[in-house]
Homo-oligomer: A and B are copies of this chain.
Amino acid sequence: MSKHVFYHAGCPVCVSAEHDIVKLIGEQDVEIVHLGDEKEKVAEAENAGVRSVPALVLSNGNVLHINFGASIDDLKN
């Protein structure tokens, strides 16, 4: 099974959700991507269906938008 990917942007809402998600799923099963630090992955996230962060893209392709930190559009600049 491929990993789940958790996209965030370092915002307080994101960090809190990250801790919760890692605890729920287990660190070994989730890849964490900070879109503020890794701008080149914004397009990858958007193609996966991410419209806001924090978001969890599951290995089955489903996207869970969790709470609301920032719009993906705000991460493009």
Contact = CB atoms under 8 A, between A and B. Distances in A.
Interface of A: 4, 16-17, 20-21, 24-25, 58, 60, 62-68
A61 to B, nearest CB: 10
Nearest to A66: B64
Given A16-B62, A24-B24, A24-B58, 13 more contacts: A4-B24, A20-B58, A20-B62, A20-B64, A21-B64, A24-B25, A25-B25, A63-B67, A64-B66, A64-B67, A65-B66, A65-B67, A65-B68
19 contacts: A4-B24, A16-B62, A17-B64, A20-B58, A20-B60, A20-B62, A20-B64, A21-B64, A24-B24, A24-B25, A24-B58, A25-B25, A63-B67, A64-B66, A64-B67, A65-B66, A65-B67, A65-B68, A66-B66
